Amino acid sequence: MRLAAILATERGIRVCAPIHDAFLIEAPTPQIEAVAVEMQQAMREASRIVLGGLELRSDIVYVHSPDRYSDERGAKMWNCVMELIDELESVEKTPCQTAHQCAVACGLTWANGAPVRSNGAYVRRS
């Protein structure tokens, strides 16, 4: 994946993110098909280098704004995340001086040093 990302970037492909065994790329709508094929070529080349000549296959899924990519396997997790965001956004906003004060006022606490943005502060539900 790293080699494929490097090859793609060197070819001018805008790689937004690796996603498990795939890449999210972006290009202007009129060019997206050609750029996606070029990304597949970079992925095939990387697989040949890493796997001693074996080429891995790939497929393309196009997503056009304002739509977003969705996979059934991730739908449950995504729905859970969206419910948590809705829950956090519905918490009454309070005037806070610090993130800690905001967390206390909203009934939230810091957890494992990994915050989530809510009410202008980085907090996470415990």
| % of the chain at pLDDT higher than 90 | 41
> How far does the chain reach from its first CA to its final CA, in angstroms?
34
**Amino acid of residue 86:** D
* φ and ψ of 6, to 5 deg: -65, -45
Locus of tokens 């965001």? 85
Coil/strand/helix, residue 26: strand
Q: What global pTM score does this model have?
A: 0.59
* Distances from the Cα of 73 to the Cα of 2, 77, 112, 117, angstroms: 24, 8, 27, 26
Among 68-72, 78-82, 83-87, 108-112, the least confident range: 108-112
Segment 62-84 shows an average pLDDT of 81
Confidence of residue 92 (pLDDT cuts 50, 70, 90): low
